[in-house]
Amino acid sequence: MNIKFSKRSDTIEASEIRELLKLIGNNNIISFGGGLPSEETFPVEEMKVICNEILSDYGGKSMQYSTSEGYDKLRKIIIEIMRERGINTDIDNILIISGSQQGLDLTAKAFIDEGDTILCESPTYLSAINAFKPFYPKFEEIFIDNEGLDPEVLEEKLKKSKNVKFLYTIPDFQNPTGVTLNFERRKSIIELANKYNILIVEDSPYSELNFTGQHLPPLKSLDTEERVIYLSTFSKIVCPGFRIGWICASKEIIKKFVLFRQGSDLHTNIFSQMQITKFFEKYDVKAHIEKNIAIYKNRRDAMLNAIKADFPKEVKYTEPKGGFFLWVTLPTYMDSKELLKCALKNGIAFISGEAFFPNGGHKNTLRLNYTNISEEKIREGIKILSDVIKENMLKNN
Amino acid sequence: MNIKFSKRSDTIEASEIRELLKLIGNNNIISFGGGLPSEETFPVEEMKVICNEILSDYGGKSMQYSTSEGYDKLRKIIIEIMRERGINTDIDNILIISGSQQGLDLTAKAFIDEGDTILCESPTYLSAINAFKPFYPKFEEIFIDNEGLDPEVLEEKLKKSKNVKFLYTIPDFQNPTGVTLNFERRKSIIELANKYNILIVEDSPYSELNFTGQHLPPLKSLDTEERVIYLSTFSKIVCPGFRIGWICASKEIIKKFVLFRQGSDLHTNIFSQMQITKFFEKYDVKAHIEKNIAIYKNRRDAMLNAIKADFPKEVKYTEPKGGFFLWVTLPTYMDSKELLKCALKNGIAFISGEAFFPNGGHKNTLRLNYTNISEEKIREGIKILSDVIKENMLKNN
């Protein structure tokens, strides 16, 4: 038959990243694409003990339907995590979701009417764009520097934009740039949200993976008017395969989200909620995270040192203090998609930058990931990539 | 702050069932509400072996990000399940989802434009209504008798309705009525779909829980034009807590669904996909299901026999040949919500029927579940419910 999809279906396109990941498969490519944590950081042996205990302690309850709000024991653990991040909150402010990606879908459903304006960093998280687009918003992008988004530019956008629903931001070790929003700007952004009466969606998947030990307060901790919808996840501190994240927001918003998620997927896998809960109950999660930070910091160092040694001076890059990614800006006459084709021929993958801009453009940018690859391979890969860049510069200039 | 939700947010309401389930909690109420499988049917001991093997065999891969399409080994198992149900299909026609509920959300996103007509049984599955409503369709209800929906009524609706996107139907042991669509009608419905160029969403969570041994062919098996989007789940044959279901549809539709789900929740929990896979690889699932059928059939018998013995003759009810539910129609002057209040006071819960009709009405109906309660308690509960009904009949007549 001739299928007639919804008009909404025209808003979404195949993710270059996922398509690329499929292509890469099990080949010998050195991949700086994707955004996978390293499997060596996952508590595999601990999970053997944990699964056995769950099934012995809870039996069929660990396999039964459960509540849309989430497993109460895990919600209480999240309250503790939030307290350590400087946010005092209550169980009714916490909704467990199937990965923090689901928080973006719920936010879109509950807030975006056609034509509403969404403010976001430029570039921003690719799958946030894909979560919001089917609900027909306009995106206003705020270019970021090494200290995150500039509140002055934000205020200009707020003055001239109509029907602004929310600012979507990743303040810590942003995806894709690795940049962190400074403290003064955090305060200013909250003041602007209050002044212009908008919500803030604070996406915080990477905040615990901090290489400096100096933690900046989340926007949510500075929020006195319940304007911040805070999203986080166990994907980067335990593992992503269980798909367990959470939302912390006002009770009124959580109630609305619960209604939408009953139509979306009823509730989050209860067995995996128990797996995460037991891991926190039985093991020293702080020590676990410290160990992971050490691995990722070494890889970040390896990548930065290789870039400093090898990249031509015309190429600019960010220096992330945590998280998963580093952002590269090539000379404007270069096209990172063309570069990617040459790089793949030489056994190197990365993500070209254009897809991270909701309104397109910026063809001369690309994202590099350093978490799922050994230091040796990072050095080897950056050397090859540098050569490919130099070759392309000559060709194009 | 004064929160401004999307207009879409007005379309959804708190589910009476979930609110009721919360109220019931751990009290001594005999609940015919909800739709939970019995925990004694879950393979708890087998899961101990399975979890250990997954972690030994696959290590960190069982906890890592995975593909949006689903775990290939499980997709291949599903191809076998589909073949046994009379449907020949291919791996690219299968998408693993986070419970078949997610299939309804994806269907809504990919197909419903504002004002489109959705045809459905009257009554129909409550959470399908909640999945579709946020996308502003019109619902045209087709009343069903003991043989399912009448194709003649369907054709009348098709003739007079504009922009019909799909027929949503649960042909086997329908939720909430327990009714099964007969073979002749199945053929006629496929013919009508071809004639009027519409899609069919065939929701099939209960088909394996068949108390008669006589299986009718799924609509999907009669479909020669790739019009049927078939949804099913492991929730009723293994357990619901893992949230693993699937969609079988044309490759073009699956591709579109994959794009939408990347924005929705990226992918389904890989650990639990492996749990289900190992269960099928290592154990005799057919024998497992047969054992469960025996338990549920005895409970259905207990409920039907008690109803026949106790209910006043003015009360009508369906006689399901499988699945989870039985549907009761009270005299039209009665209101099942009022009845529910009296029943709860007497320690009995059920779901009043109005919520299962997308356009409301039918206050004199209610749904009874028999799967998660012992035969003894079923007999005890139906006796009490009968007395409450009789009392209310006297009061209202």
Residues B199-247 pLDDT 10s = 999 999 999 999 999 999 999 999 999 999 999 999 999 999 999 999 9
Looking at this predicted complex, what is its ipTM?
0.96
Residue B108 has pLDDT above 90, yes or no: yes
Terminus-to-terminus CA distance in chain B, angstroms? Answer: 50
Closest to B6 in 3D by CA, of A158, A197, A115:
A115
Q: If you search the block for the tokens 């062919």, which residue do you land on?
A: B217
Residue B99 backbone dihedrals phi, psi, to 5 degrees: 85, 145
pLDDT band at B281 (very low <50, low <70, confident <90, very high): very high
Beta strands in chain A (DSSP E): 30-31, 94-97, 117-122, 138-145, 148-149, 164-169, 199-203, 228-233, 245-248, 316-317, 325-329, 348-349, 351-352, 365-369
Q: What is the pLDDT of residue A12?
A: 84
Residue A327 backbone dihedrals phi, psi, to 5 degrees: -115, 130
Q: What is the pLDDT of residue B16?
A: 62
The residue ranking higher by pLDDT, A109 or A394, is: A109
Specify whether the CB–CB gap between A69 and A253 falls below 8 A: no
Q: What is the pLDDT of residue A395?
A: 82
Q: How far apart are alpha carbons A175 and A126 in whole angstroms?
A: 9
Which residue among A110, A241, A265 places its CB closest to the CB of B98? A265
Closest to A124 in 3D by CA, of A9, A20, A201, A185:
A201
Residues B61-96 pLDDT 10s = 999 999 999 999 999 999 999 999 999 999 999 999
Q: How far apart are alpha carbons B312 and B216 in whole angstroms?
A: 33
Q: If you search the block for the tokens 């069929």, which residue do you land on?
A: A60
Residues B119-162 pLDDT 10s = 999 999 999 999 999 999 999 999 999 999 999 999 999 999 99
Rounded (10°) angle between helices A251-264 and A100-111: 100
Q: Do B39 and A64 touch (CB under 8 A)?
A: yes
Which residue among A59, A238, A265 places its CB closest to the CB of B105? A265
Under 8 Å CB-to-CB from A392, ≥6 apart: which residues?
A: A334, A338, A339, A342
CA distance B230 to chain A (A): 16
- Say what percent of chain A tops pLDDT 90: 93
Q: How far apart are alpha carbons B27 and B17 in whole angstroms?
A: 16
In the numeric block, which tokens belong to residue A159? 């003055």
CATH number of B58-282: 3.40.640.10
* Burial bucket for residue B286 (CB in 10 Å: 0-12, 13-18, 19+): exposed
Q: Do A241 and B65 touch (CB under 8 A)?
A: yes
Q: What is the pLDDT of residue B11?
A: 84
**SS3 state of residue B368:** strand
In the numeric block, which tokens belong to residue A391? 């070759």
Query: What residue ranges do the domains of chain B occupy?
Result: 14-42+287-396, 58-282
- Scanning B262-281 for CB atoms below 8 A from A yields 262-272, 275
Q: How far apart are alpha carbons B83 and B10 in whole angstroms?
A: 42
Query: Quick one: CA dihedral A62, A64, A65, A67, positive or negative?
Result: negative
Cβ atoms < 10 Å from Cβ of A199: 24
Which residue among A18, A109, A131 places its CB closest to the CB of B68? A18
CA distance A393 to chain B (A): 35
Cα A294 off chain centre by: 20
B236 lies within 8 A of chain A by CB: no
Residue A17 has pLDDT above 60, yes or no: no
Specify whether the CB–CB gap between A331 and A367 falls below 8 A: no
Q: Do B37 and A197 touch (CB under 8 A)?
A: no
Q: Do B263 and A131 touch (CB under 8 A)?
A: yes
Span of A1-10, A121-130, A249-258, B189-198 with lowest mean pLDDT: A1-10
Specify the CATH architecture of the domain A44-282: 3-Layer(aba) Sandwich (3.40)
Residue A277 has pLDDT above 70, yes or no: yes
A287 lies within 8 A of chain B by CB: no
CA nearest A57 in B: which residue?
B44
Which residue among A18, A61, A131 places its CB closest to the CB of B39? A61
Average confidence (pLDDT) over A56-78: 97
B369 lies within 8 A of chain A by CB: no
Residues B16-70 pLDDT 10s = 655 665 665 556 899 999 899 999 999 999 999 999 999 999 999 999 999 999 9
* Torsion on CA atoms A10, A16, A19, A24, rounded to nearest 10: 180
Q: What is the pLDDT of residue A331?
A: 97
Cβ atoms < 10 Å from Cβ of A72: 14
**H helices, E strands: number in chain B:** 13, 14
Q: Do B260 and A47 touch (CB under 8 A)?
A: no
pLDDT band at B330 (very low <50, low <70, confident <90, very high): very high
Cβ-based contacts of B253 with chain A (< 8 Å): 3
Residue A376 backbone dihedrals phi, psi, to 5 degrees: -60, -45
Q: What is the pLDDT of residue B14?
A: 72
Residue A212 has pLDDT above 70, yes or no: yes
For residue A329, what are the β-bridge partners? Answer: A316, A365
- Scanning B309-338 for CB atoms below 8 A from A yields none
In the numeric block, which tokens belong to residue B321? 């040949």
Residue A15 has pLDDT above 70, yes or no: no
**Helical ranges in A197-269 per DSSP H:** 219-222, 251-264
Q: How far apart are alpha carbons A79 and A248 in whole angstroms?
A: 9
Q: What is the pLDDT of residue B355?
A: 92
Terminus-to-terminus CA distance in chain A, angstroms? Answer: 50
In the numeric block, which tokens belong to residue A388? 């490919």
A72 lies within 8 A of chain B by CB: no
Under 8 Å CB-to-CB from B322, ≥6 apart: which residues?
A: B172, B173, B178, B180, B206, B207, B209, B210, B211, B212, B293
CATH number of B14-42+287-396: 3.90.1150.10
Residue A25 has pLDDT above 70, yes or no: no
Specify whether the CB–CB gap between A70 and A267 falls below 8 A: yes
Cβ-based contacts of B245 with chain A (< 8 Å): none
In the numeric block, which tokens belong to residue A100? 């923090």
**H helices, E strands: number in chain A:** 13, 14
CA nearest A243 in B: which residue?
B269
Residue B187 has pLDDT above 90, yes or no: yes
Which residue among A9, A60, A112 places its CB closest to the CB of B110? A9
Specify whether the CB–CB gap between B211 and B293 falls below 8 A: yes
Query: Quick one: CA dihedral B83, B89, B90, B96, positive or negative?
Result: negative
- Amino acid found at B277: T
Q: How far apart are alpha carbons A106 and B127 in whole angstroms?
A: 16
Average confidence (pLDDT) over A271-281: 98
B93 lies within 8 A of chain A by CB: no
> Mean pLDDT across chain B, nearest whole number?
95
CA distance B255 to chain A (A): 9
DSSP A268-288: --HHHHHHHHHHHHHS-HHHH
Cβ-based contacts of B45 with chain A (< 8 Å): 55
CA nearest A197 in B: which residue?
B1
Residue A285 backbone dihedrals phi, psi, to 5 degrees: -65, -35
Residue A22 has pLDDT above 90, yes or no: no
Q: If you search the block for the tokens 């609110």, which residue do you land on?
A: B19
Q: How far apart are alpha carbons A73 and A117 in whole angstroms?
A: 37
Cβ-based contacts of B64 with chain A (< 8 Å): 36-37, 39, 42, 239-241
Average confidence (pLDDT) over A261-276: 96
Q: Do A264 and B259 touch (CB under 8 A)?
A: no
CA nearest B57 in A: which residue?
A44
- Scanning B118-157 for CB atoms below 8 A from A yields 127, 130-131, 133-135
**Helical ranges in chain B per DSSP H:** 16-24, 44-58, 72-84, 100-111, 126-132, 151-160, 183-196, 219-222, 251-264, 270-282, 285-310, 336-345, 375-396
Q: What is the pLDDT of residue A28?
A: 82
User: Looking at residue B324, what DSSP letter applies?
Assistant: S
Average confidence (pLDDT) over A74-89: 98
Query: Quick one: CA dihedral A270, A51, A282, A373, positive or negative?
Result: negative
Mutate to test the interface with A, among B50, B65, B258, B288 (most CBs of A within 10 A): B65
- Amino acid found at B83: R
CA nearest B42 in A: which residue?
A60
Q: What is the pLDDT of residue A21?
A: 57
Span of A17-26, A75-84, B86-95, B346-355 with lowest mean pLDDT: A17-26
Distances (CA, A) of A48 to A53, A54, B49, B51, B230: 9, 10, 10, 7, 35
Q: What is the pLDDT of residue B28?
A: 82
Residue B318 has pLDDT above 70, yes or no: yes
CATH number of A7-42+287-396: 3.90.1150.10
A10 lies within 8 A of chain B by CB: no
